[in-house]
Structure 1
Amino acid sequence: MSDLTQACKVHPMALPCDSNETSYLLPANSEDWEGHGIPDFVYRQEELLLEGIQWPRRAPGLPDAPPPLSRFDCVLCSAWRQRMELGLFRYHLGELQTQTLPGAVGFVAQLNVERGVQRRRPQNIRSVRQAFDPEQFNFNKIRPGEVLFRLHREPGLPGALQQEDILVMINVSPLEWGHVLLVPEPARGLPQRLLPGALQAGVEAVLLSSHPGFRVGFNSLGGLASVNHLHLHGYYLAHRLPVEGAPSKPLDPGGRLHLLQALPAPGFLFYASGPGPELEALISRVCRATDYLTDHEIAHNLFVTRGAPPGKTSPSSALTGVRVILWARKSSFGIKEGGAFNVALCELAGHLPVKTSQDFSSLTEAAALALIQDCLLPPAQAEEVQAALVALTAQEEQESFQKYLFSY
Structure 2
Amino acid sequence: MKNPTHCSRRRGFQAERGGGGQSMAVPQDSNETPYLLPPNSKDWEEQSIPDFVYGQKELILEGIQWPRTAPSLLDRIARSRFDSVLCSAWRQRMELGLFRYCLGKLQTQTLPGPVGFVAQLNVERGVQRRRPQNIQSVKQAFDPEQFNFNKIRPGEVLFRLLREPDLPGAVQQEDIYVMINVSPLEWGHVLLVPAPTRGLPQRLLPAALQAGIEAVLLSSHPGFRVGFNSLGGLASVNHLHLHGYYLAHRLPVEGAPSEPLDPGGHLHLLQALPAPGFLFYTSGPGPDLEALVGRVCRATDYLTDHEIAHNLFVTRGAPPGKTSPSSALTGVRVILWARKSNFGVKEGDAFNVALCELAGHLPIKTSQDFGTLTEAAALALIQDCLLPPAQAEEIQATLVDLIAKDEQ
Tell me, yes or no, whether TM beats 0.5: yes
Number of residue pairs matched by the alignment: 389
Deviations 1:284-340 (A, max 9, x none): 000000000000000000000000000142212110000000000000002211110
Q: Is residue 11 from structure 1 mapped to residue 26 from structure 2 by the alignment?
A: yes
Task: State the one-letter code of the partner of 1:41.
Answer: F
Q: Please show how residues 90-169 of structure 1 align to structure 2 within 5 Å.
A: 90-169=100-179
Question: Normalising by the residue count of structure 2, what TM-score does the alignment of the two structures yield?
Answer: 0.92
**Aligned position for 1:405:** none
Deviations 1:167-226 (A, max 9, x none): 000000000000000000000000000000000000000000000000000000000000
- Which residue, out of 199, 203, 223, partners 1:189? 199
- Which residue, out of 231, 239, 248, partners 1:229? 239
Which whole-Å CA distance do the structure 1 matches of 2:43 and 2:135 have between them?
33
Deviations 1:86-125 (A, max 9, x none): 1000000001000000000000000000000000000000
Q: Please show how residues 57-68 of structure 1 align to structure 2 within 5 Å.
A: 57-58=68-69, 66-68=76-78
Alpha carbons 1:180, 1:235 under 8 Å: kept: yes
Which whole-Å CA distance do the structure 1 matches of 2:123 and 2:26 have between them?
23
**Aligned position for 1:311:** 321
Deviations 1:36-83 (A, max 9, x none): 421000001110000000101239xx9675321000000000000000
Per the alignment, do residues 116 and 315 of structure 1 end up closer, same or farther by CA in structure 2, a change over 3 Å counting? same
Task: State the one-letter code of the partner of 1:168.
Answer: V
Question: Normalising by the residue count of structure 1, what TM-score does the alignment of the two structures yield?
Answer: 0.92
**Aligned position for 1:392:** 402
**Aligned position for 1:48:** 59
Per the alignment, do residues 376 and 158 of structure 1 end up closer, same or farther by CA in structure 2, a change over 3 Å counting? same
Give % identity: 83
Alpha carbons 2:232, 2:310 under 8 Å: kept: yes
**Aligned position for 1:77:** 87
How far is 1:32 from its partner? 9.8
Q: Is residue 239 from structure 1 mapped to residue 253 from structure 2 by the alignment?
A: no
Task: State the one-letter code of the partner of 1:113.
Answer: V
Q: Superposition RMSD on alpha carbons, in Å?
A: 1.8
Deviations 1:228-254 (A, max 9, x none): 000000000000000000000100111
**Aligned position for 1:376:** 386
**Aligned position for 1:403:** none
Which whole-Å CA distance do the structure 1 matches of 2:89 and 2:188 have between them?
9
Q: SS in structure 1 opposite 2:316?
A: strand
**Aligned position for 1:38:** 49
Which whole-Å CA distance do the structure 1 matches of 2:134 and 2:225 have between them?
27
Alpha carbons 1:303, 1:325 under 8 Å: kept: yes
**Aligned position for 2:9:** none
Q: SS in structure 2 opposite 1:301?
A: strand
Task: State the one-letter code of the partner of 1:140.
Answer: N
Which whole-Å CA distance do the structure 2 matches of 1:353 and 1:55 have between them?
22
Q: Flag structure 2 segments of 5+ consecutive residues without an equivalent.
A: 1-16
How far is 1:30 from its partner? 4.0
Which whole-Å CA distance do the structure 1 matches of 2:73 and 2:79 have between them?
18
**Aligned position for 1:367:** 377
Deviations 1:334-379 (A, max 9, x none): 2211110000000000000000000000000000000000000000
**Aligned position for 2:5:** none
Q: Flag structure 1 segments of 5+ consecutive residues without an equivalent.
A: 399-408
How far is 1:4 from its partner? 10
Task: State the one-letter code of the partner of 1:11.
Answer: V
Alpha carbons 1:11, 1:67 under 8 Å: kept: no
How far is 1:33 from its partner? 8.8
**Aligned position for 1:404:** none
Which whole-Å CA distance do the structure 2 matches of 1:31 and 1:38 have between them?
12
- Which residue, out of 72, 76, 96, partners 1:86? 96
Alpha carbons 2:133, 2:236 under 8 Å: kept: yes
Q: SS in structure 2 opposite 1:243?
A: helix
